[in-house]
C-alpha cells in the first residue's frame, strides 16, 4: 500500500451512497429491533467489541464522514473548543489502536475496538459486520445471549436478508467504481487506519506509517475480498466474487474454511 495515496476524502457522490448505505442499515435495524423483543436479545455486554476489525474503505469513509458531521453538530451546540476536544479524543483513540501489539490480521486482539468506550461511540453508523453479529449470524461462546435447546441463538435469515447483504456489496462495488483504481479506495483495511486516512493530513499519515507496525498497512484489494461470516452466508457466491476480481485485475485472496467460527475477518 502506498502511503502517498493514503490520504482520502469524501465527495458529494459518496454522500448519496452513504444515504443508500443507511437505508440498507435500516433493514438490519428493523431485524435487530424485532430480535430484541425475543429471548435472544443482545445483552449489550460489549464482549463482541473486543476486536480490531478490518472493513472496506466504503464503511471507513461513512464513519469518518459521520464523525465530521458530529464534530460540527457539537460545535453548533457547545462551541468549537468542545468540538475540538471530541475530534482530538476520537483521533487519539484511533491512533492508539495503531500501536496495538496484540492485534493480528484476523481481527483478534486483547483490546477493545477503538470506538468502544462503555458502548459503541459510532453506534448509529457502525459497520455492517457489527450489525450482523448475532442478528443474522450465530454468535461466539463469549456472547452472553440466551441459547435455545440446541445451544445456539435464533437469528434471522432468508431472502430479505440476502437482498440486504447483496445490496450492501453492490454499494461497495459502486463506491469502488466511482474512484480511480490505484487511489486506495477499493480495499479491505484495518478500520482505525481506514478512518484516520480521512481525518489526518498527509504529513501525519506519513509519520504514522514510520512509527507503526507494517501489519496495519496490509490490505486486501477489492470489495470482493470483504469475505466475512455474513457475506459468506448471504452475499454473492464465490464464483461471482472471483469473476468481479478477475474483471478488476485482482485476485481473490480469501481462503474459506468450512467452520466459519474460526475466522472473523479475512483478507
Ligand atoms: S464499531 Fe462499535 S459495535 Fe463495532 S466493534 Fe467497534 S465499538 Fe463495537
Give the pLDDT confidence of 194-235 residue by residue, as tens digits. Answer: 999 999 999 999 999 999 999 999 999 999 999 999 999 999
- Å from CA of 130 to ligand 1 middle: 6
For ligand 1, say whether the CB of 17 is within 6 Å of any of its atoms: no
Look at residue 264 in the predicted model and tell me its pLDDT.
29
Q: How confident is the model at residue 68 (pLDDT cuts 50, 70, 90)?
A: very high
- Å from CA of 84 to ligand 1 middle: 22
If you average pLDDT over every residue of the chain, what do you get? 93
Q: How confident is the model at residue 115 (pLDDT cuts 50, 70, 90)?
A: very high
Question: Mutate which of 42, 127, 264 to test ligand 1's pocket (most atoms within 8 Å of Cβ)?
Answer: 127
Q: ipTM, 2 decimals?
A: 0.98
Chain centre distance of CA 41 = 22
Query: Would the pLDDT of 55 be above 50?
Result: yes
Element containing residue 187 per DSSP (H, E) = strand 187-190
Question: Mutate which of 32, 67, 97, 113 to test ligand 1's pocket (most atoms within 8 Å of Cβ)?
Answer: 113
- Å from CA of 191 to ligand 1 middle: 10
Look at residue 266 in the predicted model and tell me its pLDDT.
30
The arithmetic mean of pLDDT across residues 242-251, rounded, is 92
Look at residue 251 in the predicted model and tell me its pLDDT.
86
Look at residue 138 in the predicted model and tell me its pLDDT.
94
- Å from CA of 190 to ligand 1 middle: 13
Look at residue 267 in the predicted model and tell me its pLDDT.
23
CB 194 within 8 A of CB 265: no
Q: Which atom of ligand 1 is nearest to the CA of 123?
A: 2
For ligand 1, say whether the CB of 126 is within 6 Å of any of its atoms: yes
CB 174 within 8 A of CB 17: yes
Look at residue 6 in the predicted model and tell me its pLDDT.
85
Query: Would the pLDDT of 73 be above 50?
Result: yes
- Å from CA of 125 to ligand 1 middle: 10
Copy the grid coordinates of residue 87. Answer: 475530534
Chain centre distance of CA 117 = 17
Q: Which atom of ligand 1 is nearest to the CA of 51?
A: 5
pLDDT for 140-163, tens place per residue? 999 999 999 999 999 999 999 999
Amino acid at each position: 500500500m502506498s502511503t502517498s495515496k493514503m490520504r482520502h476524502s469524501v465527495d458529494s457522490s459518496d454522500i448519496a451512497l452513504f444515504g443508500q448505505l443507511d437505508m440498507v442499515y435500516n433493514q438490519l435495524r428493523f431485524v435487530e429491533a424485532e430480535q430484541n423483543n425475543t429471548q435472544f436479545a443482545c445483552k449489550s455486554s460489549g464482549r463482541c467489541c473486543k476486536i480490531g476489525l478490518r472493513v472496506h474503505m466504503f464503511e471507513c469513509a461513512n464513519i469518518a464522514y459521520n464523525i465530521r458531521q458530529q464534530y460540527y453538530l457539537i460545535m453548533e451546540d457547545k462551541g468549537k473548543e468542545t468540538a475540538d476536544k471530541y475530534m482530538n479524543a476520537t483521533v487519539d483513540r484511533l491512533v492508539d489502536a495503531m500501536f496495538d501489539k496484540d492485534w493480528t490480521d484476523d481481527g483478534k486482539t486483547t483490546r477493545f475496538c477503538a470506538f468502544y468506550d462503555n458502548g459503541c461511540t459510532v453506534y448509529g453508523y457502525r459497520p455492517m459486520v457489527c450489525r450482523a453479529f448475532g442478528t443474522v449470524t450465530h454468535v461466539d461462546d463469549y456472547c452472553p445471549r440466551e441459547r435455545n435447546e440446541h445451544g445456539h441463538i435464533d437469528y434471522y435469515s432468508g431472502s430479505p436478508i440476502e437482498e440486504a447483504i447483496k445490496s450492501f456489496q453492490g454499494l461497495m462495488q459502486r463506491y469502488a467504481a466511482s474512484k480511480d483504481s490505484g487511489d486506495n479506495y477499493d480495499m479491505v483495511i484495518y478500520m482505525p487506519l481506514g478512518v484516520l486516512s480521512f481525518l489526518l493530513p498527509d504529513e501525519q499519515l506519513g509519520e504514522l506509517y514510520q512509527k507503526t507496525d507494517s501489519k496495519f498497512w496490509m490490505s486486501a484489494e477489492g470489495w470482493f475480498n470483504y469475505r466475512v461470516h455474513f457475506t459468506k452466508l448471504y452475499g454473492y457466491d464465490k464464483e461471482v466474487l472471483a469473476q468481479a476480481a478477475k474483471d478488476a485485475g485482482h485476485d481473490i485472496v480469501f481462503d474459506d474454511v468450512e467452520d466459519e467460527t474460526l475466522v472473523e475477518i479475512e483478507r
